[in-house]
Structure 1
Amino acid sequence: MPDKITAGYRFKYFRKDLKKWISAPPEIWQWEATYEDGSSLKQFGDDGIFHQFAEIDQSRLAMFKMISREFPQTYTVLFSDLSMKLIHFYRNIVLNSGGSDEKHIRLYCFGYEKKVGASVQKLIMAITPTNNLIVTENPDLITA
């Protein structure tokens, strides 16, 4: 098991199929799931463990936050209904591909989907490189 976090520390997670610890660099924006009983699970735990999205127990989820150790903003989704299913993913975009000014950016996307009658409603929020928040039902509309 990894030691406590130190400056420059790379987080780790255990790959059962390989039977070994794998390093995971921290993200600028990190999730934290809080459960109904007040306990929480951090993507990058205080103990140096990297937790995967699949580890979140959505049946007990009360709140999901995107937090940053570099920026003061916090973005929060409150879960008030068991039919709400948490969504989290990254959207990597290349601007000016192949040009001398090629730029790679990462959007941190999160939100939920919820069945309402016969349809499924989806709400996605994307944190941009400038820390703005884009809210959409269709993340494919986000170009940069």
Structure 2
Amino acid sequence: IVCVIALIIAYYLGQDKPARTLLIFSVLGVIAMLIGIMTTGIVSTYAFLSGGLICSIMWPCIFTLSVAGLGKYTTQGSAFLIMMILGGAIIPPIQGKLADYLQASSTAPGYGIHQSYWVAVICFAYLAFFGFAVKGILRKQGISYEEQSTAAH
């Protein structure tokens, strides 16, 4: 329940601003993965599970920020972005190989898979960097998602 409450509060802190929302949730992702790595039992399980909830909020932000400013190339850019979902097929085998490698050097059961979540920490950290850097990149193109949007009616 604490995790869900924290995610709801973080969503409201984002205030419909995709770069801020991406940054906040990426940092929460790093924190959740670190909690999962540093703890065991039910706390670790919930920390790792919260990563999925965090990703569900981040995807629309990533998409919005990635295709912003592409102009007439928006269709192609969004197609390439969808094709890059392949990253979801590349990262798990990398994490699995790391888990196997780490488990081979340990006698503790589950040590490898538990420590392999450092891959997720790196991925969330990159997304935090993207959320931080993209505001400046888009601002140079004259695009800002920082203004509060108002209804058209």
- Decide: shared fold, TM above 0.5: no
| TM-score bracket relative to the smaller structure | under 0.3
Query: Which one has the largest radius of gyration?
Result: 2
TM-score between the two structures when normalised by the length of structure 2? 0.24
The structure carrying a bigger helix percent of its residues is 2
